[in-house]
Amino acid sequence: MKKNGYFILLMVGWCLFIFPSFGISAEGDIKLTQPSLSSNVSIEKAFSERRSLRTYKNEPLTLNELSQLLWAGQGINDQAKGLRTAPSGMASYLLNLYAVALDVSGVPQGFYRYEPKKHELILISKGNRRDDIANARFSGPPPGASAEVASRMASHANPLVSAPLIFIITGDSSRGEAASYYLEAGHAAQNILLQCVSLGMGGVPMAGIDFDKLKKSLKLGDKEVGIYLIPVGKK
Ligand SMILES: Cc1cc2nc3c(=O)[nH]c(=O)nc-3n(C[C@H](O)[C@H](O)[C@H](O)COP(=O)(O)O)c2cc1C
């Protein structure tokens, strides 16, 4: 009896060592929680409150919040047909949605790809990737910007230095036209931003990014086109 007790304890210890926390596979992939299909915030209220947010409360996000935002962006909402929360020309789904987890409770820091069919995050690389990402932001105004735009931009904080979570949306140029994946990205990004409002969060869609630099540091494929970075966090 005593021997059995020791054996069970040993097995539990071994499992805890191999699978350090619930929902994380041996490869480091994250099993996400099921999305909630209701909230106290109406879609109209979300429209009325959405605003780009560039500074965030210093507070970790939860796995539920991360799961909900990924589902809003590219999740499956019709299992039988494999259709998603955001529309796609001819349902060709040309986007990849990535999450850079920097401060999400229970989720090790790292760069992950969202897998809609399994509702999972696939680990691409471990560790804190904040510097690689924050350094890819263009600091000055775009060529030809008016003085008014330039001065507004100068007043913006860099949201990439404090966001607990940053989404990256890329388009797959090997499977479709640029017009299709750029339009699709707008739909997915707006879903994420409206979902943020309903979770008491905020974010900002960013295209002023040196995606060539970012692609190199994150080792993204040649055929992937960087479209948006979306840092998000609590209000
Ligand atoms: C295509 C696009 C690109 C954008 N790129 C950036 C960006 O690189 N950096 C940034 O701080 N905001 C960026 N924004 C956010 C806009 O600055 C913001 O939407 C605008 O100032 C209006 O403010 P609001 O979103 O609060 O209504 C972008 C928005 C869009 C639609």
Distance (Å) from CA 203 to ligand 1 centroid: 10
Q: Which two tokens stand for residue 179?
A: 């017009």
Q: Which two tokens stand for residue 15?
A: 């499992």
Q: Which two tokens stand for residue 174?
A: 């090997």
pLDDT score of 121: 98
pLDDT score of 3: 64
One digit per residue, pLDDT tens: the chain, 235 residues?
566 666 666 665 554 544 444 599 999 999 999 999 999 999 999 999 999 999 999 999 999 999 999 999 999 999 999 999 999 999 999 999 999 999 999 999 999 999 999 999 999 999 999 999 999 999 878 778 888 878 887 888 899 999 999 999 999 999 999 999 999 999 999 999 999 999 999 999 999 999 999 999 999 999 999 999 999 999 9
State which of 49, 50, 52 you would mutate to test the pocket of ligand 1, scoring each by most atoms of that ligand within 8 A of its C-beta.
52
State which of 49, 206, 230 you would mutate to test the pocket of ligand 1, scoring each by most atoms of that ligand within 8 A of its C-beta.
206
Q: Which two tokens stand for residue 220?
A: 């993204």
pLDDT score of 9: 62
Distance (Å) from CA 205 to ligand 1 centroid: 6
pLDDT score of 7: 63
Q: Is 148 exposed, middle or buried (0-12, 13-18, 19+ CB in 10 A)?
A: exposed
The phi, psi pair for 166, rounded to 5°, reads -130, 125
pLDDT score of 55: 98
pLDDT score of 14: 55
pLDDT score of 11: 63
